Amino acid sequence: MDSGTASASRRVTSEAVGTSLPRVDGIAKVTGRARYLDDLDAVGAWHGVTVRSTIPHGILDGLDRDPAFDWTDIVVVTAADIPGQNVITLIELDQPALVPVGGTIRHVDEAIALVAAPTRARAFAAARAITARVTPLVPVLSIEDALTGPIQLHGADNVFKRFAIRKGHATDGEIEAALAASAHVIDSVYRTSPQEQMYIEPQAMMAEWREGACHVTGSMQCPYYVHKAMKPLLDLHAEDVIISQTVTGGGFGGKEEYPSMIAAHAALLAKVAQRPVKIVYDRDEDIAATTKRHPALIRHRLGLDALGNPTVIDVDVVMDGGAYATLSAVVLSRGVLHAAGPYKCPVVRIVGRVVATNHPPHGAFRGFGAPQTTFAYERQIEKAARLMGADPLAYRRRHALRAGDTTATSQVLGYSVATDEVLDAIEQCAGTPPVRDGVNASGAPVKRGRGVCFYFHGAGFTGSGEQRLAGRATVALAAGGRFEVRASSTDIGQGAITIFTQLAADGLGVDASRIDVIDPNTARVPDSGPTVASRTCMVVGGLVEAGAKLIAARIRAWAESVGRAGSIEDLADDAFGALGPIAETTQYTPPPGIAWDDATYTGAAYPVFGWAACLVDVAVDLDTYEVAIERCVQAVDVGKAINPAIVKGQIEGGTLQALGWAVLENVVYKNGKVANATMTNCIVPTFADAPELETIIVEVPYPFGPHGAKGVGEIPMDGPAAAVANAVALALGVEFDELPISPEVVAQRLGGQS
């Protein structure tokens, strides 16, 4: 369970930033040498399995153990075994680690007991030998039920959190008056579906107690989130909780908050079993129990004057938070902050609510609320363009924000606004739109259409989040002429180790092969903040670069003081002899002039935005009603591509996830339980489902990001679904305002026989 390091294996001769340095972790991963949690075996480790509820809402009256089962080598843990507070600490303190006897079950896959055994098979058998006695209660299983039904799950109105953004004359009366005075009002209701992250490595965690300290290691995005959750649960001091990340096979937000739950379970089992305990979720369990993208219901009213200029935007966003608050408030926040889109409009009202239901909690997923509201506003803008008889790209260009314009939160955009760059990029490669009627390779008639969208995504934490986090990262001089980067940012497949290597190398002025990025471990790295919000490169990468420059300066100062000349590479080993393992830890400071008011939701919602435009050509098969994506072009402004190959990979991956969400992905709930909790039925796109993705990297630098870089991880997820819907609407002459645009939905909307 010890940490290791990763270092660049290939020497590069020029500066590292801006080159596609091969992934530092790449060879180990493609050769199978990388060791994921399930590959690790601690001596004497047992296997843990979770006993879950079978009803979505009710009272846990008791837990019965089958007397016929042989319990001799089994450890059972219930809420009564928790040494500290029975809570998974996050924004709210509402979610227990285990439902206590007498407590309320709030979703169908909630943990009610834990078992550990020497083998996985024995643990599964023991879990089956525990029966819950329950008193069922009527569940709340939809947004509508939560808002208008009689069951109260949270407070008086089932609302976990609400936000309101108002710009211009935006009292409720003024909004209605502005809509009434508009020449046109586009008034539509949009629905988006839950989505599963489907990281390739299921959730996995191992815990071990040594000398009163709890060591937890596993697959995660945010070691310090887990650390924060373990302290009150286990009643331990900070230094007695040590959290480390193992090689992680994808996260997409799914390993942001949920790992705290599995860590809690593994730690509790390990404490009672007095040996290491490993919990590795089955895929089916992972799909059923862990967080999904929030389903959303959005009413969007867009008022236009006679010339087609937006005069008022009024959006009502409701998201299904599921059984516990988890990160829903923050997801909703990002959702509402993007809901007006990157368009000029003098009067804006955006109201957002996230409600409690008896679904498993919805949580973090790439895009984090923005894909839902982006789908709505880019459908609205499309409808406006068509209503005005305008070219869709030209209409967007006319009304898009530029530097000097204000957003819905009255943030004045000062710099790094890439509206024209991304729209130009799309326009230049667009070519001729497809002919509407045709035949596909199966011999079926098709209707083709082209859709576009234009969108933005705030980089980094919302509002004053980055200031509150005060993320830190360290660069240190090590023996042998090497340097260490210490940050809690995890590499979850997105390339963090490689990016940090490049930024540190150039900050120091050394070759990338001299850099070791330390595996995140709360005993060895500072809290850099969580690995979320497209902030790892822009924020933490900036700290790494700053720390590297400080170390280089200290080496140069030492060299000067002893009359030595030469490069940092030449000096490093001797400097280490003279100075020892000097380290520089830097802390985030916001760019100048950034102000955000949480009370009124006005000001700089984000220090900077990424900008993007997308073009999609679709062909709808009139025999099968399947929507085939025949072409997809994304132009994404990332400020600066520190590693173009990694940036391209991020854009392609996010785009494919968005295309899947648009036409085929869905999580189907039946009585509060995921009905399609298998990879067979909870499908994600394959290569056969996507065209060759055309990616255009646009670089309009952010003055306060490392080398001008801003976020890239999330933005490609936001826009493509709207572009697909816009294309299908054009192809078929029917509006599609709900996701997914599945063949079944298309068939129904076309009224059967083609």
Partner 1 sequence: MTAYVRPADLAEATRVLADHPAWMILAGGTDLMVHAQHQPVPVGILDLWRLPGLGGIDARQRDDRSWLRLGAGTTWREVIADARVQHALPNLVAAAREIGALQIQARGTIGGNLGTSSPVGDSLPVWLALGAEIELRSVHGTRTVPYADYCTGYRKTARGVEELITAVWAPVPATGTRLHWRKVGTRKAQSISKVMAAAALALDGDTITAARIGLGAVADRPIRATAIEAALVGRRLGDDAIAAARAALAIAPITDVRSTAAYRHDVAANLIARFVAA
Site residues (vs partner 1, CB under 8 A): 442-444, 622-626, 628, 664, 668, 675-676, 680-681, 683, 685-689, 743-744, 747-748, 752-754
For strand 515-518 and strand 482-486, is the pairing parallel, antiparallel, or unpaired? parallel
Nearer residue to partner 1 within complex by CB, 295 or 705? 295
Handedness of CA 516, 520, 525, 531 (dihedral sign): positive
Nearer to partner 1, 99 or 728 (CB): 728
Closer residue to partner 1 in complex, CB, 587/671 = 671
What is the spatial distance between Cα 103 and Cα 3, in angstroms, rounded to a whole number? 39
In 3D space, the residue among 478, 477, 476, 479 whose CA is nearest the CA of residue 487 turns out to be 476
Quote the CA–CA distance of 455 and 470 in Å, as a whole number: 29
* DSSP code of residue 309: -
204-210, strands of its sheet edge to edge: 75-77, 111-117, 46-52, 277-280, 204-210, 213-218, 241-245
Closer to partner 1 by Cβ: residue 665 or 718:
665
Least distance to partner 1, CB of residue 749, Å: 12
Q: Where are the beta strands (DSSP E) in 583-734?
A: 583-587, 596-597, 602-603, 608-621, 627-637, 669-670, 673-674, 693-698
Query: Measured from the CB atom, is 72 or 687 closer to partner 1?
Result: 687
* Distant-in-sequence, close-in-space partners of 63: CB < 8 Å, separation ≥ 6: 51, 78, 101, 112, 113, 130, 131, 132, 133
d(C-alpha 125, C-alpha 718), whole Å: 43
User: Least distance to partner 1 from the beta carbon of 275, Å?
Assistant: 24
Least distance in Å: CB of 311 to partner 1? 41
- Closest distance between partner 1 and the C-beta of residue 684, in Å? 8
Which pair of tokens denotes residue 516?
């070791």
- SS3 per-residue string spanning 121-172: HHHHHHHHCEEEEEEECCCCCCHHHHHHCCCCCCCCCCEEEEEEEEECCCCH
**Nearest CB to partner 1, comparing residues 41 and 744:** 744
708: left (phi over 0), alpha (psi -120 to 50) or beta: left
Cis peptide upstream of residue 720 (ω within 30 degrees of 0):
no
Rounded to the nearest whole angstrom, what is the least distance from the CB of residue 266 to partner 1 in the complex? 21
Nearer to partner 1, 177 or 664 (CB): 664
Q: What is the nearest approach in angstroms of partner 1 to the Cβ of residue 152?
A: 31
Indicate the helix (H) or strand (E) that contains 347.
strand 347-356
Find the shortest distance in angstroms from Cβ 623 to partner 1.
Answer: 4
For residue 593, the tally of other CB atoms under 10 A from its CB is: 9
CA atoms within 13 A on the CB side of 8: 29
Q: Judging by beta carbons within 10 Å of its beta carbon (0-12, 13-18, 19+), is residue 624 exposed, middle or buried?
A: middle
| Residue number, 683 or 697, with CB nearest to partner 1 | 683
**Considering beta carbons, is residue 148 or 681 the nearer one to partner 1?**
681
CA gap 421, 431 in Å, rounded: 17
Nearer residue to partner 1 within complex by CB, 577 or 752: 752
* Nearest residue (CB) to partner 1, 432 versus 753: 753
CB of 630 to partner 1, least distance (A): 12
Min dist CB 713 to partner 1, Å, is: 25
Q: Which residue number, 203 or 221, has a Cβ lying nearer to partner 1?
A: 203
Tokens for 449, please give them: 């259409």
Length of the chain in terms of residues written: 754
E strands of 412-558, at which residues?
A: 437-439, 445-459, 472-478, 482-486, 515-518
How far apart are CB 664 and partner 1 at their closest, in Å?
6
* Phi/psi of residue 605, nearest 5 degrees: -65, -35
Nearer to partner 1, 342 or 685 (CB): 685
